[in-house]
Structure 1
């Protein structure tokens, strides 16, 4: 039994690979290194460099390594940039998922855990998002993830594919000192870069209808996320039932000001964040309900906000 992790050299994927190792399950990494980092792949774990758009290479990798299931993390994950690069986003996330599913069908692999996104909800009509909340993605990225879920659903009807999709908002922290978030667009790396350069981090708006006036969002630790990806894989291996999709959410969220306070404490760098104008369209509060995932996928918030900051700061590369 072996699981292929597409995007397994990336921030989230590498944590999933290590969680497979902790669970005693063999993993194979497939990554084109467009954003992944080869050193994130543990020693002894097979690594194939290539694009999921290459159906033949994916199928060959599955066959050569006796792969029985796939955790599909690979994709273009920059929601804001996807507005400027919609065709690239659809190519990577929609066509790429199609090619992966074709390769799986070619080789008889019938189980997949899909790394989806809470971006499928767009700006939801309620503050607490459940799996049944209407889907209204606000970017090509969110749309591409929703289409990915549809592809899995339709392939299940056609071939009996067993699948589940995991949706989440903001992934932070680090589960190992050599794994870090290298994204140029995510909040934690942006704040770390600002502090390292002597710049003052900014809060966009402090007049929202929340306890401290700043937006409240869901932040989850990447290591907690990895546990639930592997738990989903194990349920599929065991033939146990799964929901089509699960939210991996805190149910409560944290405010931007709380994050800044934790940044000050966790980094040891004293600062007072600048208050900038609101960004258009930012809702007061959006958090996800993780009840179903807690029931089925060993989902729980094992890390405090301060632990999210300190683990990320300890792993962050220093220039």
Structure 2
């Protein structure tokens, strides 16, 4: 199978390319300037037109690339141009070239900040930040570009992804877990759905080779609290959890003073998703739980 991958050098992209290559597939990485991103230094790839000879003969496209605004470093117009219009261009090129399968990785955060009731795919779209809003708009652009070819498309909405080389709230907690000190997270925050990078790659493979289409929320079984993530990581390292309690308001205040209010919310606010649809329609089996995968990852030396 010949698969074109945008964002091949990113966290998910590196793992997907390695898996596809290992299984004998031909992977075509797409430079980011082809979908509106800033060119890499020294790049000689033209910034116009995505329908090039490299696309011809492809069996599928996986669109992973996008801009993540952190700390106000990116202009809103740039984020929307790359994440929304870039997605439209990629989808339109796939349609123009009659590529039979295109998978777009969005985010579960298009549904907002979540809560204690598990989200389903038909719940309202209510993005709470620029990145989530750009992904919600990108989903609309994706389906608009596919038009009558909707049956060729899949949109995945992952919860926070963890694994070797990952970033984000779970990576921060696993990094904290490696410190040889007790931590005040024994009963902090609500349960959050998360997903391992191996599970994401498994699902991408399934979507590339199966007839499935539509939008799917994805997560591993067993949502965890921040303290659970730390405890599982330490258990994988052969250590005790070493967790204790402090008032949650005190910890939240400290996070605000440190300019980390957003990260604190991402680690502690309840966010649950229902994965019945992807299991029912694709046959995906979730396998080991989030806790089991965290233990195995830390035991193997992953981050």
Query: TM bucket by the smaller chain?
Result: 0.7 to 0.9
Mapping 1:95-174, distance limit 5 Å? 95-124=85-114, 127-157=117-147, 162-174=152-164
Q: Secondary structure at the match of 1:29?
A: strand
1:308 and 2:294 matched: yes
CA distance 1:262–1:61, change in 2 (3 Å): same
Counterpart Cα distance in 1 of 2:147 and 2:202: 28
State the SS of the aligned residue for 2:219: coil
CA contact (8 A) 2:158 2:218 kept: yes
Q: Which moved more, 1:91-100 or 1:307-316?
A: 307-316
Query: Is 1:259 the equivalent of 2:229?
Result: yes
**Equivalent position to 2:215, from 231, 235, 245:** 245
The answer to whether the Cα contact below 8 Å between 2:2 and 2:27 also exists between their aligned partners in 1 is: yes
Sort the Cα spacing of 1:195 and 1:157 in 2 relative to 1 into closer, same or farther, 3 A: closer
**Aligned equivalents of 1:245 and 1:83: distance in 2?**
30
Residue matched to 1:288: 273
More divergent stretch after superposition (4-13 vs 51-60): 51-60
Mapped to 1, the partners of 2:181 and 2:297 lie a distance apart of 22
RMSD: 3.5
Offset, 1:91: 2.5
How many residue pairs get matched? 279
Distance 2:84 2:288 in 1: 33
Structure 2 gaps of 5+ residues are 34-41, 254-260
Q: Does 1:232 align with 2:207?
A: yes
Which among 234, 243, 255 is matched to residue 272 of structure 1? Answer: 243
Q: Structure 1's 153 and 190: CA in aligned 2 closer, same or farther, altered over 3 A?
A: same
Question: Matches of 1:223 and 1:51 in 2, distance apart?
Answer: 33
Per-residue CA distance 1:133-165 (angstroms, 9 max, x = gap): 111001111111111111121122266672010
Cα deviations by residue, 1:53-107 (Å, 9 ceiling, x for unpaired) = 93436634313xx2122011111245x6469642332122112212323433453
Greater fraction strand: 1
CA distance in 2, matches of 1:127, 1:67: 40
- Counterparts of 1:111 and 1:214 in 2: how far apart (Å)? 40
1:250/1:287 contact within 8 Å kept? no
Question: How many Å separate the matches in 1 of 2:130 and 2:118?
Answer: 23
The whole-number CA distance in structure 2 between the counterparts of 1:88 and 1:255 is 34
Q: TM-score w.r.t. structure 1 length?
A: 0.73
Q: Distance in 1 between matches of 2:58 and 2:43?
A: 16
Distance 2:176 2:221 in 1: 29
- Partners of 1:313 and 1:53 in 2: CA distance: 45
- Distance in 2 separating the partners of 1:120 and 1:171: 15
Partner of 1:54: 47
User: Distance in 2 between the 1:85 and 1:60 partners?
Assistant: 32
